[in-house]
Amino acid sequence: MTKIEEFQALGLTEVTLEAIREKGFEEPSPIQKLTIPTFLKDENDIIAQAQTGTGKTAAFGLPILERITARKGQKPQALILVPTRELALQVMEELISLNRKKIAVSAIYGGASMSEQLRRIAKGIDIVVGTPGRVLDHIRRGTIDFSELRWLVLDEADEMLDMGFIEDMEEIMAATNDTKRTMLFSATMPARISSLSKKYMHDTEILRVESKQMTADLTDQIYFEVRESDKFDALTRIIDIEPDFYGIVFARTKVGVDEIVNRLLERGYAAEGLHGDVSQAQREKTLRKFKKKQVNILVATDVAARGIDVNNLTHVINYSLPQDSESYVHRIGRTGRAGNEGTAITFISPSEYRQFTAMRKAVKSDIRKQQLPSAEDVIAIRRQKIKDELQAVVTGEQLVDNYHSMASEILAEYDPAVALAALLKMAFKNDLEQDNYPEIRSFSVDRKGTARLFIAVGRFDGFTPGKLVEMLKRETGLYDKKIDDVRVMDSFSFVTVPFKDAEMVTKKLNRLSRGDKPLAEISTDGNAPAGEDKRNERRGRNHTRSERRMPERERRGPLRNFESKSKRDSRKRK
């Protein structure tokens, strides 16, 4: 079942295939099928049109890792230019996870310590992943030498142009040797990309995945915005509110399938997984059980789900986005067959948002946004289910005679309502308690794809809009243009940032705060999180009794480390 041979057919050899196996990739993504063989022919420069999330990092990373040999302590062999520090780290991590040849991969980006970067450069880096500003800085200082490059990759070239990096990019390209091969990846192809390529690229081959237009009309398509870490709870809520859930949950990798199945089993759901490492015998057994509805949840990769012939699914759930719109249509086409209406649900995390927007455009049918069922909804439905099941037992043929005498003994001893409540508690533990359902906060995203952030610092903490923007840029690497609509209140603030960056920004800011309250949160409605106004009111003036007992520094929980870092920074600047 595994299509590892497909990677082999693209020209990759055993070391690289080993890395792919360990990563859990089952078959090449469409953009990988196009770029890898062209790259390995060693003839042309390449322009590839690909969105994030389509496997583009591996599309250039795998062939580079296939060809490269470690050259300890020498000049870099590959330079990958990316628009943001975040992406630099992401690309570096993906390359390191595929590296089986002890290649030195390192990220060079603005805002990080220069001396540390100089030390790494001096030791020798084979593959440099960098943002244009900082890379150029090193070139100008003469601290890095790109005169022996074998490969130059411009990743998310349209973003780099949008961010005004064109001059930096041109200067960098001019500082590299002519003999390298250049690959440009871009989600869109504005005219500026072709003029850039005419100037700096040779014998360019343009590659793009043609997407077929397909629709699946019988399927109701909805999506939920959920953080990656909330996806599992979101899944269980959807399963819980369905009276007869019978569906396939799609994950991207084998590792992903195994993880979801294990967590479902731990929580008592009837689930099984299918992926390329599952033996044929086991696969058949699982499918038999699924068809007979002995298990009602099948978790699968795209490859493993191919050829499954089940008609009457109530749900298809895209736990992770598919690689392209075609496999989306393929996946969801499994519901809504034979005249049955089904529901296709897609989870979107902030980092999947851009890819999803593009996919949504390509899939010509409507995908509606919905709110996840609340904990109250889930509990109400579970209660009803329990009552229905009880009724079936009371009126049904099942033999409860064995329990009659025990029931009489219990009733003789306890109040009937108390006894029944205790039995329910024993049977369902805390399933019906609100505390058992973690809060899943939805993102607020407007049509422009932005999110409003609540930040727990304001004027009382010495912030002005300018200072807040400066702090955001410094701490999160966000670019000026991306920070919008800044409102600084006495003790908290709001800013608008691109949705896809929102999770990264809150994560980074919250790393600065060691207090029990987060420093930044994604605000669902442009208001401070519940109770926040009061909390902030108190912070400046009337402290609660327990707060009063704390020294001032401790009292300001969310800010403790953040402030010490800002002070540290300003000391450094002086």
Half-sphere exposure of 64 (CA within 13 A, CB side): 32
56 lies in the binding site for ligand AMP (CB under 6 A): yes
Residue 154: its H or E element: strand 151-154
28 lies in the binding site for ligand AMP (CB under 6 A): yes
- Cβ closest to ligand AMP, residue 90 vs residue 286: 90
Among all chains, which residue has been given the structure tokens 């699914």?
313
Minimum Å gap between C-beta 323 and ligand AMP is 7
Q: How many residues bind ligand AMP (CB under 6 A)?
A: 14
**Going residue by residue from 107 to 136, which x/- string records binding to ligand AMP, judged by CB under 6 A?**
------------------------------
> Of the candidates 44, 52, 84, 186, which one interacts with ligand AMP according to CB under 6 A?
52
> Near ligand AMP by CB under 6 A, which window of 55-63, 207-215, 360-368, 479-487?
55-63
Contact predicate 21/158, CB 8 Å? no
Question: Whole-angstrom Cα distance, residue 517 to residue 547?
Answer: 14
Closest CA to 327 of 354, 347, 305, 349: 305
Residue 298: its H or E element: strand 297-300
197 lies in the binding site for ligand AMP (CB under 6 A): no
Question: Whole-angstrom Cα distance, residue 83 to residue 64?
Answer: 20
- Cβ closest to ligand AMP, residue 93 vs residue 377: 93
> Of the candidates 8, 194, 215, 253, which one interacts with ligand AMP according to CB under 6 A?
253
Minimum Å gap between C-beta 187 and ligand AMP is 10
35 lies in the binding site for ligand AMP (CB under 6 A): no
Paired tokens of 194:
């072709």
> Near ligand AMP by CB under 6 A, which window of 54-62, 148-156, 172-180, 494-502?
54-62
186 lies in the binding site for ligand AMP (CB under 6 A): no
276 lies in the binding site for ligand AMP (CB under 6 A): no
Contact predicate 336/216, CB 8 Å? yes
> Of the candidates 85, 134, 180, 252, which one interacts with ligand AMP according to CB under 6 A?
252
58 lies in the binding site for ligand AMP (CB under 6 A): yes
Closest CA to 452 of 485, 403, 411, 410: 485
- Cβ closest to ligand AMP, residue 23 vs residue 75: 23
Question: Whole-angstrom Cα distance, residue 51 to residue 185?
Answer: 8
**DSSP string over 455-494:** ES--GGGT--HHHHHHHHHHHH---GGG-EEEEE-SS-EE
Residue 88: its H or E element: helix 85-98
153 lies in the binding site for ligand AMP (CB under 6 A): no
Minimum Å gap between C-beta 163 and ligand AMP is 18
User: Under the rule (CB under 6 A), what is the footprint of ligand AMP?
Assistant: 25, 28-29, 32, 52-58, 94, 252-253
